[in-house]
């Protein structure tokens, strides 16, 4: 009888498994760190290599699984015994040579994950999108209802994230229980050569220029907490901007510099200068074959002033509090130089 109970308990344990796509990315890595503290097995998908674990991460209930979200055969195997899905996998690139691949991964890859979630009767699906998938409002406050309109200034990344959301809403229409988060620029400890973590490396090297651009920012730990709250809630068919507040690039870069005892940016880069710089960077990338550090899209966004409204999520979860951005940056900066 005890043997039967043990077998039944183990079978039940492995039947309730969480799937995290893009587990080697910034959000995915912090998510599995948090989830690993719960007594539920996690299947963490990675594309090319298993990342270095974050400090104090419990590894006993994490199963790493190599999988390309475009590979239907391996993806179907990854869905065995899964009950909940956090879809974090996405490609972020402003290199024109990778635009087609990025759209394929972000849109078609999301469609594949959504399709298997429907087929396997997944309990809940949380999709990580971006504020890039939300429209712009000149001079006004941007909300989840601000209409996304494609124009010449829309980045390919923005387009790919918008249409990946459409795949999730299509899934909702087919019966999927899902919610979407639209994080602001996410700051957190991770691979300093990738994503927004690379900003700390740039500031550490005392990059001298700043712009008057402004956007929303958020701690990766807050993004993870919000995702888990949504997973365990009854919320369905909703999207939420996740943001600790709107800050200028100069404000953020100055805080980063202070946290690492470096000289803050001190030279103002007007629009004409950023337009010149991205063209020179583009030419250099063609000649060298390397990815440009500054592109037309990043130069344009650095000059934009965008204010995002974070009130919808806070109204849904009134006990939720965002970390102070100064505290967030000080923590990450000290980690970078440690």
Strand order in the sheet with 245-248: 185-187, 214-219, 245-248
- Contact predicate 288/217, CB 8 Å: no
Please tell me the CATH code under which domain 2-337 is placed.
3.40.50.720
pTM of the model: 0.90
Q: Give the pLDDT confidence score for residue 280 in this predicted structure.
A: 62
Q: Which of 136-145, 177-186, 209-218, 277-286 has the lowest mean pLDDT?
A: 277-286
Average pLDDT, the chain: 88
What percent of the chain clears pLDDT 90, i.e. is strictly above it? 63
Q: Give the pLDDT confidence score for residue 105 in this predicted structure.
A: 96
- Contact predicate 28/65, CB 8 Å: no
Which tokens in the block code for residue 172? 């909702």
**Residues 66-97: pLDDT tens digits?**
999 999 999 999 999 999 999 999 998 877 78
Distance of CA 199 to the CA centre of its chain: 15
Residue 56 has pLDDT above 70, yes or no: no
Residue 48 has pLDDT above 80, yes or no: yes
Residue 10 has pLDDT above 60, yes or no: no
Rounded-to-integer distance, Cα 325 and Cα 76, Å = 40
Which tokens in the block code for residue 266? 């001190």
């Amino acid at each position: 009888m005890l043997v039967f109970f043990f077998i039944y308990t183990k079978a039940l344990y492995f039947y309730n498994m969480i799937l995290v796509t893009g587990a080697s990315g910034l959000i995915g890595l912090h998510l599995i760190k948090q989830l690993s503290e719960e007594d539920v097995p996690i299947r963490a998908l990675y594309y090319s290599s298993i990342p270095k674990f974050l400090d104090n991460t419990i590894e006993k209930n994490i199963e790493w699984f190599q999988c390309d979200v475009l590979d239907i055969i391996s993806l179907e195997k990854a869905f065995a015994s899964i009950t909940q899905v956090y879809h974090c996998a996405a490609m972020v690139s402003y290199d024109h040579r990778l635009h087609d691949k990025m759209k394929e991964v972000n849109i078609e890859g999301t469609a594949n994950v959504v399709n298997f979630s429907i087929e396997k009767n997944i309990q809940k699906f949380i999709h990580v999108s971006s504020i890039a998938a939300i429209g712009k409002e000149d001079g006004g406050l941007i909300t989840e209802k601000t209409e996304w309109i494609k124009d010449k200034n829309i980045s390919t990344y923005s387009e790919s994230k918008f249409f990946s959301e459409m795949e999730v809403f299509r899934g909702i229409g087919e019966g999927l229980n899902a919610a979407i988060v639209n994080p602001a620029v996410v700051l957190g400890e991770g691979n300093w050569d990738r994503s927004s973590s690379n900003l700390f490396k740039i500031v550490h090297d005392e990059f001298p220029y700043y712009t008057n651009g402004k956007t929303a920012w958020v701690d990766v730990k807050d993004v993870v907490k919000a995702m888990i709250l949504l997973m365990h809630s009854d919320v369905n068919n909703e999207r939420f901007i996740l943001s600790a507040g709107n800050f200028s690039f100069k404000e953020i870069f100055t805080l980063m510099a202070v946290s690492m005892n470096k000289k803050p940016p001190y030279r103002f880069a007007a629009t004409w200068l950023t337009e010149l710089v991205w063209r020179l960077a583009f030419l250099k990338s063609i000649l060298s074959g390397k990815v440009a550090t500054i592109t037309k899209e990043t130069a344009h966004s650095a000059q934009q002033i965008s204010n995002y409204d974070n009130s919808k999520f806070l109204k849904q979860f009134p006990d939720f509090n965002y970390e102070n951005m100064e505290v967030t940056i000080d923590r990450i900066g000290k980690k970078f130089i440690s």
